[in-house]
Amino acid sequence: MAGKITLTMIKPEAVRKGHIGAILAMLSEGGFRIVAMKYMKLSRETAEKFYEVHKEKPFYNDLTEFMSSGPIVAAILEKENAIEAYRGFIGTTNPADAAKGTVRNLFGSNIQENAVHGSDSDENALVEAGFFFSELERY
Ligand code: CMP
């Protein structure tokens, strides 16, 4: 499925603010098909593992604390050219710069609490999808 999937998370602040339903509705209307989905809370250790590529970044500690601060929704989404399509759909990392009407523009609070995650490459999408879901959990 390379090229057709991306991994998203609805992050803890968006969950706390009650935006799960609105974000899932937007994804569906945007033509992203849900292949797999989980509502769960990441442990600090699991969040550290997921964001390991950012280990050396100054925001790594705060990010992993935040990502383990409450439940998230993790999902594999399918669409043609999924990575680029989803990145355009959610907007830039910093919600302050995100295009009007994108998920991060509508629901993001700041560069860290930016409502949703989206994979940044086909290769990472496969790794991230495998991080959360077995083949048996994908439909
Ligand atoms: P995400 O798409 O999940 O990928 C890495 C995350 O790190 C990003 O969204 C933000 O939540 C966070 N992040 C990226 N850059 C910064 C930054 N400069 N300061 C704080 N957090 C950041």
Q: Enumerate the domain spans of the chain.
A: 5-137
pLDDT of residue 115: 98
Residues with CB under 6 A from ligand 1: 54, 59, 63, 93, 111-112, 114, 117-118
Residue given tokens 């280990």 in the structure block: 55
**C-alpha 112 – ligand 1 centre gap (Å):** 5
**C-alpha 96 – ligand 1 centre gap (Å):** 13
pLDDT of residue 57: 98
**C-alpha 111 – ligand 1 centre gap (Å):** 6
H or E element at residue 85: helix 82-90
Neighbours of 12 (CB within 10 A): 19
Q: pTM above 0.95?
A: yes
The CATH number, out of the four listed (1.10.3720.10, 3.30.70.141, 3.20.20.60, 3.40.250.10), of the domain defined by the range 5-137: 3.30.70.141
Pocket test for ligand 1, best of 59, 72, 89 (most atoms within 8 A of CB): 59
pLDDT of residue 3: 87
Report residue 58 as tokens. Answer: 């100054």
pLDDT of residue 123: 96
What residues are labeled active site? 117
Residue from 69, 72, 4, 64 nearest 37 by CA: 72
Block means of pLDDT (10 residues each) for the chain, length 139 residues?
A: 87 98 98 98 98 97 98 98 98 98 98 98 97 98
